[in-house]
Structure 1
Amino acid sequence: MEDTVNEKLLRGVRRAEEVDDEERRLKDRIWTEAKKMWVVAGPAIFTRFSSFGVGVISQAFIGHIGSTELAAYALVSTVLLRFANGILLGMASALETLCGQSCGAKQYDMLGVYLQRSWLILFMCSIVLTPVFIFTTPILIALGQDQAIAEVAGTISLWLIPVIFSFILSFTCQMFLQAQSKNIIIAYLAAFTLVIHVFLSWLLTVKYEFGLSGAMVSTILAFWIPNIGQLVYIFGGWCSETWKGFSMLAFKDLWPIIKLSLSSGVMLCLELWYNTVLVLLTGNLENAEVAIDALSICLNINGWEMMISLGFLAAASVRISNELGRGSSRAAKFSIVNIVLTSFAIGFVLFIFFLFFRGRLAYIFTDSTEVAAAVDYLSPLLACSILLNSIQPVLSGVAVGAGWQSTVAYVNITCYYLIGIPIGVVLGYVLQFQVKGVWVGMLLGTLTQTIVLMTITWKTDWEKQVQVAKQRINRWSIQSEQQAKDEQNAINLENSTY
């Protein structure tokens, strides 16, 4: 009898020890995953805040030059520059998929080849976009813009052409380094650039009074200085495993990467243009000036918060692509849960914060009580947008990491443009809910997209995704190895003839 009691006690002790060990292992896994996530997310968030700040600083100094210059810069930066930025950033995100999965599979030599291929694709895309910036003035006049603003906007657009080409190196080098979790150097460069930009903007526009030309020179340098630093870091031996020098392989097998890049570009552009449609719809409502002022304040706050979400998007893309390339579906799923919960927790805190402060935050941007009241009225929608932004970009990052860009592009078209915008038009115009109705419709589109992406992520066979990633990596790496052998044989044959 005593033996039976002792056996039961021993079994109970063993079960308790097993539970303790399992909890300890789970805590270790969470801690390890959190460190891997923040290695990417932390610098990515800071870098995006800094990049966003470059535009704010430029606009602030140009605003002191003149109201026409400010209006022209705001028009070019929010429409044309954002348009080009969205296309190039979207197409560059194909590199996140390829580099992340190759890094996870330890096919390190392929990262440099993918980087060079992406440079070629984005360079060709930038050439196609350049005429829009050359002919900005006639385009804006044809669209009914004020001629004085359109002429200054045309001058600013010419200055911004070097900025467009800076995006080629900026986006691709960032994604190349992020895939290896080496993006802390990007954060240091971003911080250095921000300080230099403030100093140069003051020196050239205030001290020496070069006006618009001075402000634009400082802006161009602010975009190119980090690129020079990143290239020095990559070429200087700090990426010796992944950068083996320039290769002719970059010119071969481009079509599959072009298709993935186009899918990525469409996916991201559809998201970035969604908020632009919100502003355009608001401009046609009653008391449009107050509505646009209030909405611009809300979108400005939302834009700053979005930098956090985009940092988690980068982390999700890197972590999922790394684990799929490594062949671990279990680790990929664990990463998704960890990143989504972390981002949602931060979003929920900000959700409560903006619900509490409401219209009082508007006085940071305006002295108008009417605009502040409108911001107070829109604050619940702003808070809901922030909450959704804490989940949706992470799921988009999962899609990029897994290579689902084309699928998400279709989801975006349906949810944003066939559900969100039509509902917003009906609520805002037909039912006369004005800007609040338009925003509610847009939020419903984002909510629908989030639910669809969550469903796709939940129901995905991640073991199958591991196999898909392996096939993608093996296909291109095998081709590249064979091409490299052929090149070497040709060189050997040539040498033997002399």
Structure 2
Amino acid sequence: MDNSKSNPVAVNVVNGHSKSDEASVTESTVESPVFCCGCLRRIRGWIPVHYKEEIGQILKLAGPVVISQLMIFLISFVSTVFCGHLGKTELAGVALAIAVINVTGLSIGSGLASACDTLISQTFGSGNMNRVGMILQRGVLILLLACFPCWALLINTEPILLAVKQSPEVARLSQLYVMIFMPALPIMLCFFLQGIIWPTVLVGVVGNILNALINYIFLYVLDLGVAGSAAANSISQYSLAVFLYCYIVWQGLHKATWEGWSADCLQEWGQFITLAIPSMLMLCLEWWTYEIGGFLAGLISEVELGAQSVVYQLAVITYMFPLGFSVAASVRVGNALGAGNTEQAKLSGKVASICAFIVSCFVSTFVLVTKDGVMGGVVRGAGKQKIGALCNLVGYYFIGFPIGVSLMFPNKMGIIGLWIGLFTCVLIQSLFLVVLLCKLDWKKASQEALVRAGVQLPERKEEQFGLEMRGNIPAVPYILNPMVPFILNPMVPHILNATVPYILNHTVPHILNPTVPFILNPTVPYILNLKVHIF
């Protein structure tokens, strides 16, 4: 009798071992997850302990940032989707309006605000919490002032679009959308300054639900068209700010760093602007390239413009993943440099880049070449925005953009040619930034961070008390005449020797802390001890 027929379990011989079909199916079902878990355990075993800890910290920051940025972006995206049902002309008008707002408003504000990525992260890492609030106040004032030139450009949206050969009807609709959205610009710019993550996620969810509801009412119930969509977007931006403010006050998140408005916020604007301008250029030079692509697509046809808008929106959604790691890298590197821990700063930069690369492999090929976004976060955390801005200028406007435009028009490849050029640019940039960060002097970056955080004096060469004080030889004692009063410069903090009592106001001896800058009163003559170490 045939055993295969008499026995319900047929026997197979594999590699000399007899197993039943049912048994093999059962074993494979049981062993597969066990095998996968074993592989994961082996992989975790290969990762050093300090890398594991840093991966956890990076993911804790990057995950919520991705979600929060996605929530903010979806407000404009949802408005575009609603307008797409009105017609292709309305869709093109809204797409160009959002591009104009991004180029002349959001990119500038976001770039200026990214100076806080460096200053606040480094100051927070140093433990100087009061200074964090001062930096925030300066940022708010500078961004509010930046709104005026942005408004001047937004008011002239229609003439600008007509000058670049856009359709008159599309230009008119874009002007209408921009004019209604303009009051929301200050709120959006100041929104970039906040750094709390999970509250932004929760507020973003509520704001998007409200935005979709208002868009539906204004467009389909009240039939307000493009004007209704712009009003819905503006109202949603204000709702985000109001909800977030209420949450901060309710939870008391501001108490550690905010002591109220102070006149001190009007000082040290030079340090902020020195970082803000390169930060703005670093972001804008990249951002404007993609927005200009929309204008170029509009020169071909409204269909190409609509296609470019959709592709760009999808690319932005995909880019949220490296953006999250970019913010995480900027925060971790800045905190480490502010604390004077150069090894931790290097580790944070490496881990953020590795995590972004791994995630990119699972997300899309497009994100794979946007590793420069993560490296850009490390550059901001290290305070090297000038190099990043120069890299973006050369990469996009001397390499990527010429290639893309050449393929777009002479070769008649449309927006496909444009994206090929941008792809080439980003790939080259990624390689350059990796080399840059491998060669970076982290000790020098840490010293610069401590100066920005206000816990270390900058090296300076100047004449004081008739003696030359050189920053590279800080331990040289200077013999001062104990009988001659000196009036010191009030703008230069002096760290005095902690072991020498100083007679201030002629009568009271003070032992000063060597780590705290002591600013002397310019109107009071001080008689100093015979031997003074001035660092």
> SS of the residue aligned with 1:403?
coil
* Percent of matched pairs sharing the same residue: 27
Q: What is the distance in 1 between the residues matched to 2:78 and 2:410?
A: 40
Instruction: State yes or no: 1:268 paired with 2:283.
Output: yes
- 1:5 maps to none
Query: 8 Å contact 1:424–1:438 — kept in the other structure?
Result: yes
Q: What is the distance in 2 between the residues matched to 1:410 and 1:418?
A: 11
Instruction: State yes or no: 1:128 paired with 2:149.
Output: yes
245, 254, 270: which one pairs with 1:231? 245
Q: Which amino acid aligns with 2:233?
A: T
What pairs with 1:307-318 in structure 2 (closer than 5 Å)? 307-318=320-331
Q: 79-88 or 94-103, which moves further after superposition?
A: 79-88
129, 138, 146: which one pairs with 1:108? 129
Q: What is the distance in 1 between the residues matched to 2:89 and 2:408?
A: 31
Point out the structure with the larger helix share: 1
Change (3 A) 1:333 1:433: same
Q: 324-333 or 200-209, which moves further after superposition?
A: 200-209
Change (3 A) 1:483 1:47: farther
- 1:322 maps to 335
Change (3 A) 1:279 1:328: same
- 1:194 maps to 208
> SS of the residue aligned with 1:144?
coil
| TM-score between the two structures when normalised by the length of structure 2 | 0.72
Q: What is the distance in 1 between the residues matched to 2:220 and 2:417?
A: 43
Instruction: State yes or no: 1:92 paired with 2:113.
Output: yes
Q: Which amino acid aligns with 2:115?
A: A
Q: Deviations over 1:87-138 (max 9, x none)?
A: 1101100011000001111111111100010011111111111122223233
Q: Which amino acid aligns with 1:301?
A: L
- 1:183 maps to 197
- 2:266 maps to 251
Residue 337 of structure 1 deviates from its aligned partner by: 1.6
More relative contact order, 1 or 2 (CA 8 Å, 6+ apart): 1
Pairwise CA RMSD: 2.9
Residue 53 of structure 1 deviates from its aligned partner by: 1.1
What pairs with 1:455-494 in structure 2 (closer than 5 Å)? 455-474=435-454
Query: 8 Å contact 1:282–1:438 — kept in the other structure?
Result: no
Q: Which amino acid aligns with 1:225?
A: S
Query: 8 Å contact 1:101–1:473 — kept in the other structure?
Result: yes
Query: 8 Å contact 1:234–1:243 — kept in the other structure?
Result: no
Residue 141 of structure 1 deviates from its aligned partner by: 3.3
Instruction: State yes or no: 1:447 paired with 2:409.
Output: no
Instruction: State yes or no: 1:168 paired with 2:181.
Output: no
Instruction: State yes or no: 1:399 paired with 2:379.
Output: yes
Q: What is the distance in 2 between the residues matched to 1:317 and 1:387?
A: 19
> Whose radius of gyration is greater, 1 or 2?
2
Change (3 A) 1:280 1:461: same
Residue 460 of structure 1 deviates from its aligned partner by: 0.8
Query: 8 Å contact 2:83–2:229 — kept in the other structure?
Result: yes
Q: Deviations over 1:295-324 (max 9, x none)?
A: 444333222101122111111111110111
Q: Which amino acid aligns with 1:109?
A: N
Query: 8 Å contact 1:233–1:239 — kept in the other structure?
Result: no
- 1:14 maps to none
Q: What is the distance in 2 between the residues matched to 1:483 and 1:94?
A: 27
Change (3 A) 1:65 1:317: same
Q: What is the distance in 2 between the residues matched to 1:309 and 1:94?
A: 19
Q: What is the distance in 1 between the residues matched to 2:234 and 2:408?
A: 40
Q: What is the distance in 2 between the residues matched to 1:108 and 1:312?
A: 25
Change (3 A) 1:485 1:241: farther
> SS of the residue aligned with 1:87?
helix
> SS of the residue aligned with 2:255?
coil
Structure 1: state its 5+ residue gaps: 1-22, 352-382, 490-498
Q: What is the distance in 2 between the residues matched to 1:431 and 1:206?
A: 42
Q: 162-171 or 398-407, which moves further after superposition?
A: 162-171
Point out the structure with the larger strand share: 2
Residue 350 of structure 1 deviates from its aligned partner by: 2.4
Change (3 A) 1:61 1:26: closer
Residue 430 of structure 1 deviates from its aligned partner by: 5.5
Residue 65 of structure 1 deviates from its aligned partner by: 4.5
Instruction: State yes or no: 1:83 paired with 2:104.
Output: yes
Structure 2: state its 5+ residue gaps: 1-43, 458-490, 494-515, 525-535
- 2:482 maps to none
Q: 468-477 or 153-162, which moves further after superposition?
A: 468-477
| TM-score between the two structures when normalised by the length of structure 1 | 0.77
Residue 457 of structure 1 deviates from its aligned partner by: 0.4
